[in-house]
Chains A and B, each alone.
Chain A
Amino acid sequence: DTGVSQNPRHKITKRGQNVTFRCDPISEHNRLYWYRQTLGQGPEFLTYFQNEAQLEKSRLLSDRFSAERPKGSFSTLEIQRTEQGDSAMYLCASSSGGAYIQYFGAGTRLSVL
């Protein structure tokens, strides 16, 4: 039984570069969430997919951020023209149906230099 998988685990980039993260949810989980967590804070919601449809985006998700979930399977989160303020842990979670329980991956830690 595999859990939520996120890659890469760590990413160091220079300001202005683009980065892309990948999330593989638990098989057959139709709901997928992205969160961002900064040091000393709880995770904050970024965006949500039900199958392949992106149904909600937080105001935290600026125009430089884009997310996809082609075919309702894995998801990618891309940040264009990274800024130092983008440095954070990016967490992915998935859930199924009406369970409301979200299972999280280990996250991708982004450092923007």
Chain B
Amino acid sequence: AQKVTQAQTEISVVEKEDVTLDCVYETRDTTYYLFWYKQPPSGELVFLIRRNSFDEQNEISGRYSWNFQKSTSSFNFTITASQVVDSAVYFCALSEPYYGGSQGNLIFGKGTKLSVKP
């Protein structure tokens, strides 16, 4: 069965601190896609990154970085030098490829609420 676990329900940091959000996933397939989305208080889910299962390279985008490790089924997200505007709920999600019978629907974790205080 497919499952995404975000064990951290809430994290609170002070501005400029680094913070890592954990994501552990379960799937039977060898081909799959992992995502991170940000949900600010306005409610709209904002796409941050997609990673496919064959690409284990870490990725950096500005203050954001992602660490994908297939050996531990983890796809962790780090924000460096956090800012108040980073305050939001962050979701990790998993989807499987269309050819495997999946329609590409996303399986989400329960999310981690990040509060960055000034």
Contacts and interface: CB of A to CB of B under 8 A. Distances in A.
A107 B41 CA distance: 12
Interface residues of B, number: 25
A100 B108 contact: no
Interface string B35-51: 10100001111110010
B103 A48 contact: yes
A45 interface: yes
| Prevailing SS type, chain A contact patch | strand
Contacts of B43: 89, 106-107, 109
Contacts of A45: 105-107
B81 to A, nearest CB: 27
Interface in B74-118: 91, 93, 95, 97-98, 103-111
B42 A100 contact: no
Interface in A45-98: 45, 48, 50, 55-56, 89, 91, 93, 95, 98
B33 interface: yes
A102 B47 contact: yes
Contacts of A44: 108
A24 to B, nearest CB: 14
Interface string A21-56: 000000000010101000011111100101000011
Nearest to B110: A42
A44 B45 CA distance: 13
Contact of B95 (A50, A100, A104, A107): A100
A60 B111 CA distance: 20
A103 B35 CA distance: 12
Contact of A43 (B42, B95, B106): B106
Interface of B: 4, 33, 35, 37, 42-47, 50, 91, 93, 95, 97-98, 103-111
25 contacts: A31-B104, A33-B104, A33-B106, A35-B106, A41-B110, A42-B110, A43-B45, A44-B108, A45-B105, A48-B104, A50-B103, A56-B103, A91-B45, A98-B98, A100-B50, A100-B95, A100-B104, A101-B47, A103-B47, A104-B45, A104-B46, A104-B47, A106-B43, A107-B44, A109-B43
